Amino acid sequence: MKLLTRLLILFVLAFAGLQLFFVLRVGAMAVLNPYSTSFERSQAFQLLQSTGRLRWSQDWRDSAKINDSLKRAVIASEDDGFSSHDGVDWEALEKAWVKNSKAEDRASKRAAQLAKNPARPARPPKVVGGSTITQQLAKNLFLSGERTLLRKGQEFVLTLMLETFLSKERILEIYLNHVEWGEGVFGAEAAARHYFRKSAAQLSDYEAARLAVMLPRPKYFEKLPNSDYLSHRASVIVGRMGDARIPK
């Protein structure tokens, strides 16, 4: 019993120490630009393993040097309540939960119908996310890509830390400088150079919208630059950009 108690105490202390480490890291980001994220390092290592070369294109740009069009496009496409919520959009999470549950039900029914024909495996259900920009940043900065309740819980804690210690403008600035926009392409400046041969400050509304639409699946759309979906969705986002509120 004493051993169990000691182990429990050690676990609690270790957890508290980890949270303190995260608090210090997040607090420092109020004045220091993070050089890299956990996600970027993971992707770079995977590329190094698969290709034998390190591919990492990134160039930090302060918020003032990123066109407002891109900020509006990303907010309109990824998180239209970004400027007003506390880091978690509970309504979006609820909608995503309902959609995913229905998708799983449909997938189960298809699997039952195809059970007699193993040559046609059932397609996995399409999972819809409900993460905000702050949650995505929390995950990319510190966490792995695994999907567990423990990791999700830590993501919520980190989201709260980011919202507590950083302004919305700073959160968006860090996000835009580190989000993935293709294989080895990270941040708005690298993306603008990679796709349009211009700086992030020079992007047009439509170019910004195309980049924003790529975000859920950047590597996929990098290989399909002429995708009809990408063009159509970008046009829709252009129409919504006027209502997107940029935090100041």
List per-block mean pLDDT (blocks of 10 residues) for the chain, which spans 248 residues: 82 89 95 94 88 87 97 96 86 60 56 57 47 95 82 92 97 98 96 97 97 95 92 96 92
Look at residue 247 and give its three-state secondary structure: coil
Burial code (b: 16+ CB inside 10 Å, e: under 16) for 213-224 equals bbbeebeebbee
Helix 205-214 to helix 188-196 angle, to the nearest 10 degrees?
A: 110
Other Cβ atoms less than 10 A from the Cβ of 17: the count is 10
pTM confidence score: 0.84
| Per-residue model confidence (pLDDT) at position 87 | 85
Contact 231, 93 (CB under 8 A): no
Choosing among 3.30.230.80, 1.10.1060.10, 1.10.3810.10, 3.40.50.150, the CATH entry for 2-84+166-243 is 1.10.3810.10
Contact 178, 187 (CB under 8 A): yes
Record the tokens describing residue 178, joined without a space.
């580190």
DSSP letter at 82 equals T
| Per-residue model confidence (pLDDT) at position 8 | 86
Record the tokens describing residue 69, joined without a space.
């069009």
Question: What does the alpha-carbon distance between residue 126 and residue 103 come to, in Å, rounded to a whole number?
Answer: 7
| Per-residue model confidence (pLDDT) at position 188 | 98
